[in-house]
Structure 1
């Protein structure tokens, strides 16, 4: 296995990137400003700097040669007010000006929601590291799908700085995560060719059996595969579908969960014959399992459901890290034994 770098994780949350790094024995340090998420990280014994990423820079983490980050997504999500989407053109303009060497800090403060500008913090770190003569060898970023245009712009900027970069939308269930969660991901490498990880599991399709489809891939992982409940169940979404608030989506325990959000506990759970399940809601430990955190993860502090919903699933992060660091097939199979079935299909 190649020499492993240290990762600095911006917007580290409760530890999605860092738990994945730990699985590979890759050192990681996370920056997080939320006190409650820091309590969870402390309980998990994750190296943490509590504070605002804007108050730090590459010089504060001179051992780190890899950069990871999941900037706050609230203003970009479909469920949110959408201020990030409205400001997207301005964000892309600021990215171009940053690449041209301008300091846009003051103008970023003029955005309606300060969290919108945080998506550009990784770019600031990359530019500062290059100016200091210690450019990051690897960059890994993820966000909600509506941020894809920002990653596209950053790909162009990074290639101008000598990186190879790749970006796109990854579907979490195609990487063994027991939920449908689409994420915009960017990977960049200073040496070698950057490629997004190749899926190992079949995409979820409600109209198709999980045993159907590409037989070189594993079936998607269902809620029933990871949650210990006495009988099959149905989850009724808290959100309406197709713009109709009364049309609640339904998933059985033989399907992946809906995207796990901070409101996951509002989803009702029933038995197959319509009775209240026991428990009748997705519990916080169950939500963590659907996000692929360890079963015994010590969630701490307040707003735990929000901590869980905001995190990158560690299993998805592991695939991204393996691809970005070029760790190879065997490294993934060592931490995910189920991949032995699909070993010829993993290509990082």
Structure 2
């Protein structure tokens, strides 16, 4: 598609997005703020309960039970496939399968069939990472391509995003891939994510950081004076007295090596086991984060209506909305 036609397509179509594996809405909340109508597809009934309570358009279903043709007017594609097979906290099956996923991605780019379902639940979960590419190519083939694509995952998935970027460039997209640090976009947490941004109109780029990177032992005032200081846990949960957080997992399985951070630092990565994190007040008392506080460490609003069961997992699986806002702004050049 040549540049004048791309511009005409963009100007003629209101922004509508489909969010695959939408979770509780970490990308959808900032999209709504930008005036974008998002339909999120999410399998977890608990995450769907939270989405509906937040007023987000939700389809409770497996992504594979829907087809890109079901969303002919969508011109933005968002997605964060399940991270469990690829996460450092998982069993590593996804990391071991990365080269196979890249091979299957190129098979999709050649418009050759790749099964969406296998007879192995673990393989099925890994193959979900192929769905965003399948949707992108299907919309291209209908002549109504997605104008922008935003994908995020744990850092181990970066080689897959790089393969997708190569495929999408051959289809006329400009692409950018890399690893971003959540604290550099105002999230009170040191969370690293692999990102792909693709655009049909104009060059793609990762979002420029707005905040300084966190480094253990370095004051928040250190670093580039043109960037804001990173945000501390105390800023996100201001009602608490000074405290220390003890991580819910140990390094190398050694409980004595569990990480500690003070409330004057950003949180470590918030996981689905956030309810196990020990919060030690300076007066010697101990408790746990409330759901509102755990959500705030992911940069959700304090009054976000967490609903359903296993709220810790909902929070841990979420895209931090502040990071989501930066990714969307970069993808849409706003």
Bin the TM-score by the shorter chain: over 0.9
**CA–CA distance in structure 2, aligned partners of residues 269 and 161 of structure 1:** 50
1:314 aligns with 2:324: no
| Alignment partner, residue 330 of structure 1 | none
Kindly report which structure 2 residues correspond to 1:110-149, keeping only aligned pairs within 5 A, or say none: 112-149=122-159
| Alignment partner, residue 270 of structure 2 | 260
Q: Which of 277, 289, 297 is the matching residue for 1:282?
A: 289
| TM superposition score normalised by structure 1 | 0.90
- Aligned pair count reads 323
**CA–CA distance in structure 2, aligned partners of residues 251 and 118 of structure 1:** 35
Per-residue CA distance 1:238-271 (angstroms, 9 max, x = gap): 1113664420111101100011111011111112
Q: Is the 8 A contact 2:20 2:81 kept in 1?
A: yes
Kindly report which structure 2 residues correspond to 1:195-234, keeping only aligned pairs within 5 A, or say none: 195-234=205-244
Q: Which moved more, 1:179-188 or 1:204-213?
A: 204-213
| Alignment partner, residue 189 of structure 1 | 199
**CA–CA distance in structure 1, aligned partners of residues 145 and 119 of structure 2:** 27
Q: Which moved more, 1:237-246 or 1:32-41?
A: 237-246
Q: Is the 8 A contact 2:20 2:79 kept in 1?
A: yes
Distance 1:109 1:145, change over 3 A: farther
1:293 aligns with 2:303: no
The alignment yields a C-alpha RMSD, in angstroms, of: 1.5
**CA–CA distance in structure 1, aligned partners of residues 295 and 146 of structure 2:** 31
**CA–CA distance in structure 1, aligned partners of residues 326 and 117 of structure 2:** 36
Shift of 1:206: 1.2
| Alignment partner, residue 108 of structure 2 | 98
Q: Is the 8 A contact 1:238 1:268 kept in 2?
A: yes
Partner SS state of residue 179, structure 2: strand
**CA–CA distance in structure 1, aligned partners of residues 290 and 57 of structure 2:** 27
**CA–CA distance in structure 1, aligned partners of residues 218 and 238 of structure 2:** 25
**CA–CA distance in structure 1, aligned partners of residues 116 and 135 of structure 2:** 17
Q: Is the 8 A contact 1:75 1:113 kept in 2?
A: no
**CA–CA distance in structure 1, aligned partners of residues 172 and 119 of structure 2:** 30
Question: Structure 2 stretches of 5 or more lacking a match?
Answer: 1-10
Partner SS state of residue 64, structure 1: coil
Q: Is the 8 A contact 2:117 2:124 kept in 1?
A: no
| TM superposition score normalised by structure 2 | 0.93
Per-residue CA distance 1:188-235 (angstroms, 9 max, x = gap): 001110111000100001121001111100000000001033411000
1:325 aligns with 2:332: yes
Distance 1:242 1:201, change over 3 A: farther
**CA–CA distance in structure 2, aligned partners of residues 86 and 32 of structure 1:** 26
1:36 aligns with 2:43: no
1:49 aligns with 2:49: no
